[in-house]
Amino acid sequence: MIHIGDIVARKSYGHDILFKVVEINKAKGIAVIKGIEYRLYADAPLDDLIKMESEEIAKKKMAIQNWEEESKRLITQERRLMREKLEWFQRETNPASPSFIELPGKVLHLDGDPGYLKKCLQSYKEMNIPAYGVSVSEQEMPMRVLKYLQQEKPDILVITGHDGFIKGKNRNDINSYYNSRFYVDAVKQARQWERSFDQLIIFAGACQSYFEAIIDAGANYASSPERVNIHALDPVYVIQKPAFTPIAQSVQAMDVIKNSLTGLDGIGGIETRGVYRIGIPNWGKSETE
C-alpha cells in the first residue's frame, strides 16, 4: 500500500528516479509525486509505483552524491585556475600591488521546494557565492518576484522548483506543463524591473520545462531544451559561472552548460556578461570568505 510521504519509484521507468508521494487520489488510482534529487513533478498510477527500501534509497543517493562531488571538483579546479591567473596578472602588472578583494555576483533564489532551496543555499555557501533564498510556491512566483528583487537588488535571479511535461500533450503549448507558465510569468515580471540581460542574469525552469517560452520571456538560461529532467543543483552549477566571470568578459553559453549536471539536453541559454569584480586594496573580509 502506497501512502503520502513514501519514497517510491516508477516500475514503467525501471525505477530510475526516486520520488516522494505528495498526494493520492484513490478514486482515480493515481498519486502525485515529486523528485527527491530531480526537479520533476508528475502523476502516476498507484499500481505503477513501488515503495523503495532504505538500502535501495541509500544506494541511489550515494551514486548521485558522487556525481555531484565530481562536478563540484571540476568547478573548484576551474575557479582555482582563474584566481591563480588573476594573482599572476596583479604581480606582473604591478609587483607592489596590494592584495585584492573578490566580489562575485549576488544571487536571489526563489524555489518552489524548501528542501531543494536548503540544498542550493548550502552549495552557494560552499562556492562562496552570496545568496538570499526564499521558498515560494511556483504559482506565487509571478506575484512575489518583484518584491524580492526590490529588496535584494541581486545580480542573478534563479526561479525554479518542480515542473513536468504532461505525457501525450503538445510540447509547444504552455498548458502542457505543470508549472512552466508560472516561470514564464515570473521572468516577464523580472524583466519589467530590469530589462538588461547583463544587469540581471536570470535562470528559470525545472524538469521538462518549456525552454523556448522561458527564454522568449527574457531568461538568460533555462530548462529544458529536450524536456529532460534536471538535477536539484543544476541552477547553482549554471549560475556560478557568470557569478565568477569578470565583468569585462562574456560567458559563452556552452561554457555555462558544461558545468551543469544534465548538460545541453537539460540546459540552454545565451551569451552573457559576467558579474564578478575585484577591488584593491583588500579592505577587510571579502564576501567570498
| Strand partners for 268 | 222
The position carrying cell 534536471 is 230
Report yes or no on whether pTM surpasses 0.85: no
Identify the weakest region by mean pLDDT among 59-63, 82-86, 243-247: 82-86
DSSP letter at 276 equals B
Q: What is the largest CA-CA distance in the chain?
A: 76
Quick: pLDDT tens for 88-118. Answer: 556 666 666 667 678 899 999 999 999 999 9
| Strand partners for 135 | 111
Beta strands across the sheet bearing 49-51: 41-45, 30-35, 19-25, 7-10, 49-51
The rounded distance, in Å, linking the Cα atoms of 262 and 264 is 7
**Confidence (pLDDT) at 263:** 87
Sign of CA dihedral 50, 55, 59, 61: positive
Sign of CA dihedral 26, 2, 59, 12: negative
| Strand partners for 272 | 251
Q: Residue 285 burial (CB < 10 Å; 0-12/13-18/19+)?
A: exposed
Quick: pLDDT tens for 15-67. Answer: 888 888 989 988 889 898 988 888 887 888 899 999 988 888 787 777 777 76
The position carrying cell 498526494 is 23
Q: Phi then psi for 161, rounded to 5 degrees? A: 165, -120
Quick: pLDDT tens for 146-187. Answer: 999 999 999 999 999 999 999 889 999 999 999 999 999 999
In this predicted structure, the answer to whether residue 281 has a pLDDT above a threshold of 80 is: no
**Mean pLDDT of the residues in the chain:** 87
In this predicted structure, the answer to whether residue 135 has a pLDDT above a threshold of 60 is: yes
Q: Phi then psi for 150, rounded to 5 degrees? A: -65, -35
